[in-house]
């Protein structure tokens, strides 16, 4: 069974959306998905709402600190913001493939509710596309082999 860690600064928004999409795209296959932060900020209500609009419920997620998973041997560690990538503590996972993509941070946007919604939508679509491609590129072959 593969283990995937999605890491961000506060594990409140971008990593939570990524976690939701990974679970969705993997559709209960033999993969454990974890999300964490180098800090914990709680779930962002904007992230919950924008994911719900796309039919994905992340309300049961929790905001976790990366240290909680120090005993997990990850196959993939994906940082979703530059701050986490630059300040990530050492994660002792043998042979983990480390990937990084700095996604737009909608939680920093101020303005009207419509402007905030547009920001969360932009981030959601970036994250959705990236993680759909990730599953197809890095994991689909594994599942095809198991199915045959």
For the chain, the domain total comes to 1
Question: Considering 50, 77, 81, 139, which one is annotated as catalytic?
Answer: 81
147 occurs within a structural domain = no
Using left for φ > 0, alpha for ψ between -120 and 50, and beta otherwise, residue 95 falls in left
Q: Quick check: is 88 catalytic? A: yes
Q: Quick check: is 13 catalytic? A: no
Closest CA to 6 of 91, 71, 18: 18
- Each residue's pLDDT tens digit, 77-96: 999 999 888 887 778 777 89
Question: Considering 7, 88, 123, 127, which one is annotated as catalytic?
Answer: 88
145 occurs within a structural domain = no
* Spatial distance between the Cα atoms of 71 and 86, rounded to a whole number of angstroms: 22
Whether pTM exceeds 0.95: no
Q: Quick check: is 8 catalytic? A: yes
Q: Residue 44 sits in a domain of what CATH number? A: 3.40.50.2300
120 neighbors 47 (Cβ within 8 angstroms)? yes
- Each residue's pLDDT tens digit, 95-138: 899 999 999 999 999 999 999 999 999 999 999 999 999 999 99
Q: Which residue has the higher pLDDT, 6 or 90?
A: 6
Structural domain containing residue 34: 2-140
Question: Considering 8, 38, 50, 58, which one is annotated as catalytic?
Answer: 8
């Amino acid at each position: 069974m593969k283990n995937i860690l999605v890491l961000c600064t506060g594990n409140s928004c971008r990593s939570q959306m990524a976690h939701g999409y990974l679970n969705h795209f993997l559709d209960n296959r033999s993969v454990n998905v974890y999300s964490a932060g180098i800090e914990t900020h709680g779930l962002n209500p904007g992230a919950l709402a924008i994911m719900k609009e796309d039919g994905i419920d992340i309300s049961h997620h929790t905001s976790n600190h990366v240290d909680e998973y120090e005993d997990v041997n990850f196959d993939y560690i994906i940082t979703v913001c530059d701050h986490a990538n630059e300040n990530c503590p050492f994660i002792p996972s043998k042979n983990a493939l480390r990937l990084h993509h700095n996604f737009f941070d909608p939680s920093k946007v101020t303005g009207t509710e419509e402007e905030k919604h547009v920001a969360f939508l932009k981030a959601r679509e970036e994250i959705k596309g990236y993680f759909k491609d990730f599953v197809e590129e890095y994991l689909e072959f594994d599942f095809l082999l198991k199915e045959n």
